[in-house]
C-alpha cells in the first residue's frame, strides 16, 4: 500500500522506518523545512494539496495533538472519505470520535505510540503491545503482522484513554520513588538499596526506581498528566492521586531549577 507520514519527528520517523522495513511504499510530509533537510528520507510530499495526496491509501498523523484536527480537516476535503487515516498523536479522550463524526470519516483509527525518544527505532520493532482504536480494525492489523506482541482492538476513546493512563502511571511511579527517597534520606539509609530490594517483587515495576531525585519532564509525561487531570474535571470527578503526583513533581522541579540557577550563578561569580 502507499502510505503518507504526516509529521516526521520521533514518532513519524520511527513509524516510517517500520513500514519501509515491511516493504510498504512510504512517503513523508512535514511543514518544517529543517526536518526535511536533515532527514535521510528520499520520498517527500511538499504540500497536502489534492494533487499530492489523492494517490495515497493510508495517512499516518504523527503531529502534536493541537494540529491533529487541522490535518484531518485537510485530508477529509482533499481525499475520498474511504481513505484510511491513522492518528498516532496523544489526543485527549473523546477527541477522535468527535472528529470522525464532524468530518464524516469512515476509516479513522487511533494507534498510540509507546516510544522512548532515545530508543524509538528499537522500541517500534519490539513493542509490548499494539493498541488499535476504531471500527473495522482488520483494515490496519496487517501492518503489524511481523510483530510478536498482543494486539488490543478497541474503540477510539478507549485507545486514547489507554495512552493517557499509561503515561500517568509512569509519572506516578517517578513521583512515588522520589518521595520514598526523601523518607530514606531522613533515616540515613541507602534509598537505592531499598528500591532495588523492593522491585525484586515481580508485581512491582522497576520504572522510576533509579534514585535520581529528579522531576519527570520532557514533551509527554507532564502534558499527558495535565490532560488526564482535566479529563477528570470535565467528567466532574475527583482525581486525588494524580493531583498529588503533579504537586510532588512541581515541587521537585522548582527545587531542581533553583539548584541549577544557583550553580550557574556561582560559576559566573
Tell me how many degrees the CA angle 215-218-219 measures, rounded to the nearest 5: 140
**What does the block give as the cell for 140?**
490496519
Q: To 5 degrees, how large is the angle CA 33–CA 110–CA 10? A: 35
Out of 62, 220, 231, 239, pick the active-site residue.
220
Chain CA centroid to CA 201, Å: 28
Question: Which H/E stretch holds residue 54?
Answer: none
Q: How far apart are CA 38 and CA 58, in angstroms?
A: 25
- Residue 217: active-site member: no
CB 165 within 8 Å of CB 227:
no
Q: Catalytic amino acids?
A: 220
Amino acid at each position: 500500500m502507499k502510505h503518507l507520514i504526516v509529521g516526521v519527528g520521533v514518532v513519524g520517523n520511527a513509524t516510517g522506518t517500520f513500514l519501509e522495513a515491511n516493504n510498504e511504499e512510504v512517503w513523508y510530509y512535514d511543514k518544517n523545512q529543517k526536518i526535511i533537510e536533515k532527514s535521510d528520507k528520499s520520498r517527500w510530499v511538499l504540500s497536502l494539496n489534492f494533487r499530492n495526496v489523492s494517490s495515497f491509501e493510508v495517512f499516518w498523523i504523527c503531529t502534536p495533538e493541537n494540529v491533529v484536527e487541522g490535518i484531518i480537516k485537510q485530508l477529509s476535503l482533499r481525499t475520498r472519505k474511504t481513505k484510511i487515516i491513522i492518528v498516532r498523536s496523544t489526543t485527549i479522550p473523546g477527541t477522535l470520535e468527535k472528529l470522525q463524526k464532524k468530518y464524516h470519516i469512515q476509516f479513522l483509527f487511533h494507534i498510540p505510540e509507546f516510544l522512548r525518544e532515545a530508543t524509538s527505532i528499537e522500541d517500534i520493532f519490539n513493542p509490548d503491545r499494539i493498541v488499535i482504536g476504531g471500527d473495522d480494525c482488520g483494515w490496519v492489523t496487517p501492518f503489524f503482522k511481523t510483530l510478536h506482541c498482543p494486539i488490543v482492538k478497541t474503540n477510539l476513546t478507549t485507545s486514547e484513554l489507554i495512552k493517557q493512563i499509561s503515561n500517568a502511571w509512569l509519572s506516578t511511579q517517578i513521583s512515588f520513588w522520589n518521595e520514598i527517597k526523601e523518607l530514606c534520606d531522613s533515616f540515613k539509609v541507602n534509598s537505592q538499596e531499598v528500591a532495588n530490594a523492593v522491585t525484586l517483587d515481580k508485581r512491582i515495576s522497576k520504572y522510576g526506581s533509579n534514585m535520581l531525585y529528579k522531576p519527570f519532564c520532557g514533551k509527554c509525561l507532564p502534558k499527558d498528566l495535565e490532560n488526564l487531570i482535566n479529563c477528570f474535571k470535565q467528567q466532574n470527578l475527583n482525581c486525588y492521586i494524580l493531583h498529588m503526583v503533579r504537586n510532588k513533581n512541581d515541587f521537585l522541579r522548582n527545587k531542581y531549577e533553583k539548584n541549577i540557577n544557583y550553580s550557574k550563578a556561582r560559576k559566573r561569580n
